[in-house]
Structure 1
Amino acid sequence: GPAMKDRSLAALAAVGLSALAAALVLAGLRRRWRRRLRAAIDVGSGSTKLVVAEVDLVEGRVVKEVFVQERPVSFSLDSKRTADGALSAHVQAEGLRVLRHYLQVCKGLGVRSCAAIATEVFRKAPNGRAYLDRIFDELGLVVRLVSQESEADLGFRTGAAFISSAQDRAQLCVWDSGGGSFQVTSPDPVSPGEDFCLRGYLGSLGTGVVAGIAIKDIQGKSPGEKASPNPLPRDQVEMLVVRLKEDLAPVPEWLAHASAITAIGGPNSMFKLCVSISRKNPFSLADVQASLDATQGKEDEELQEWCKNEFPDPPSLVVVKLALLRAVMEHCGMSQVCYQEACGSCLGMLVHPSFRTVEVASVSV
């Protein structure tokens, strides 16, 4: 009768609801399995960076950034102050202090694994590899020393992490510049597949390196005796730009014809500095020169206004950053650069396939 029919319908509805609830629970479990809290540490030549983020392991994308920080540790400039380019005990102690703090942050956030890389200065300093061994001995953190080509790859992946369209990624040209080197990378259009090959324009010039060149080659002083190149008057800036261009390789055709450049970097990057002074983003070569005009010839105290973020670089690096920016833009014929804020190559590490499968050297924290 009608009562039996109603009971049957109710039973079917209950089964349907139970199935729906089970499906929702299963979907939630799958999301939890796919998503992991990961940490990436970039021990750069000029600063040490940490990003903790929730990562979708299947899609290879950052779902949510939980913690982001960059702290200046000028390994590169420090190495220029010693006769053989070795890292001093002081800068090593400072680097260890920052890393110890970062590992405490990771532990507090419940991060189970993190990956760490080291870049240019540790490839060149005679005690660079020994310092990385010391990090493992004292902190238990494995820091992988990467090549400049790997730096370029991670920098490109960092820039690409901000772009959702595969077509836009194929047109992307990313410029990453740190304390000891820079890389400009773009996909090679002749390489098939989604995870395309990259072509790169690499240089061993960074903020700390350029500061050393300014003091030693332009001013004729010793970086060990003169802490700051400032004041750098206009004539010395012009000589510095010419000197930097001498160290730059010929410009490849693909870069000479690049329509747009995306520059990635943190609050202390030369790109962010130019955006702050010129109040332009994207910015042109004329904007870089206007920023130089506003800063060259000034003492450190006068340049302090451009060093006001939470963990700022010293004002001694303001003018040399802009000189390097101008030198590379002029040499490569870059008409316009668009700045995208990023914390080193940390995002590139988080979305890299080998890191998502925990094949990159990692450590429990």
Structure 2
Amino acid sequence: MEEINDIDEIVDFLHENYFGTDDIYSGLPDRKINVEVRFPFEKPLFPEKTPDKVNIVFKNCIFKNELKLNDSESLLNFENCKFYGKVMGNGAHFSGKIRFRNCHFHNEVRFKNTRFNDLADFYSCHFYQRTIFYKTDFLQTAVFSGATFYENVLFTYTLFNKLVIFRGTNFIKGLDLSLSILSGSLSVFDIQLKDFAVLINNPTTDEYEENVFVIGEIPIKNKRETFRILRKTFEGNLDYIHSLDYKKLELKTYDKILDFNIKIGKDRWSNKFNKIILWLNRKSNDYGTRFEYGVLFTFVIGLIFFFLTFISTEVFWNNICFDCEIDWNVIGYTVKQFVNYLNPVHSIDFIDELRPFFGISYILDFFGRIAVGYGIYQTIQAFRKYR
């Protein structure tokens, strides 16, 4: 691969290898660029012409130093390029389309206060460092399809004015959409995003801003909001199958938030009560995704309350015998009563016959009906997970 050690070599090559008049097309293929590149170049590309559009393609190039992008009306294309220096577009306004296709960013990528007035395409790109789009305006379509982010990616106060596409995007670590401004549409399909590590603390306002703007750490409340946004997006597309994945992740994250709030003493009793609700939700149907959990929960909780109801009666203690032979009639009667007990509207006549102590069995039966009814409801909800 031929090496370039002077920026003028790039300018001269582009100037000598172009075609078109109103729209000029030029490109630089298969080069290892060892110098810092600033675009637009200080030296005019086509001083003798006034083209309507300039299309420039860098193909199969290796950028060893920083690429600095400033205000430009050109159409820029980077295809199969590798960037070992920083890619910086802070404060730039791009009037033309910008395409990075199948590029590898081994260093920092920053588009702070950047405005993309037309298409911004990062198709099938690989981002190896934490990436923060801070106050970036995507006024038209933004494409991240097939891209892979190996570290956290944050869209902090980023505007998606028309459409942002995440199709087949792979998030190895974390994603933060919580602070993005979704004025347009969010298109997600076949993305890869699992649970990920976040900051669990109580930061000051300055610490919070530093995390989401400078460091690239994702606070846990941002994580929960990101999962909520994805869940609502899938629900809006009637894709209930994938919405369940992010509903589960959202509630698991909220559970950790409750743990932290309890630890620091913030609304302790309220958070403890909410944690109990989440615990029951997880155990009874795994947040609406597993009907078999509901069946097992109903059976076990029914058995517990049925047993407690029985041992609170005089007949039970008068007839208990550990050395006696098995009476299959008694076992059959007990099984019959247990199956009947699993009906929340069962009769209480069998309790009257057992002569309960101080009416305790009636109280236990009342709470048992609620618990069994809850289990049945949760089972039905899990069966309806696909609506």
Is TM more than 0.5 here?
no
Which has the larger helix fraction?
1
TM-score, normalised to structure 1, is 0.22
TM value normalised by structure 2? 0.21
User: Could you say which structure has the larger radius of gyration?
Assistant: 2
Query: Which protein has the bigger strand share?
Result: 2
Whose relative contact order is higher, 1 or 2, with alpha carbons under 8 Å and at least 6 apart? 1
